[in-house]
Amino acid sequence: TLQRLHHVTVILEKGHYAYESLRLVYIIIAFLSLCAIIVIIELFFFNRRRQSKQSLLFEPVKDQEKELLRPPVTSANA
């Protein structure tokens, strides 16, 4: 019976080590998934910031084009 108890203990220890390694794998996968989600969110916000800056940079150019297309004001027209 002592040998049988030792055999069961060895089996349980192997199961415990397998559980610990699986737990570690799950923790690593969760951590990497969290990092990936954070990177995707940061890229999304970076892209939005870049687009908003570009739209702000292009607005004055459109206004300048309107000014150039407007006929010049002379003293005769005023």
What pLDDT, in 10s, does the model give residues 8-56? 888 888 776 777 778 888 999 999 999 999 999 999 998 888 887 776 6
- State both tokens at 59: 């607005």
For 71, residues 6+ apart whose C-beta sits below 8 A from its C-beta are 77
Domain total of the chain: 1
Is 27 inside any structural domain?
yes
* Residue 74: inside a domain: no
Specify the pLDDT at position 3: 86
Q: What is the spatial distance between Cα 41 and Cα 48, in angstroms, rounded to a whole number?
A: 11
Q: Give dist(CA 50, CA 28) in Å, integer.
A: 33
The end-to-end CA distance of the chain, in Å, is 114
CA distance 23 to 28: 9
Domain hosting 14: range is: 1-68
Is 75 inside a domain boundary?
no
Q: Is the pTM of this model over 0.75?
A: no
Residue 76 lies in a domain: no
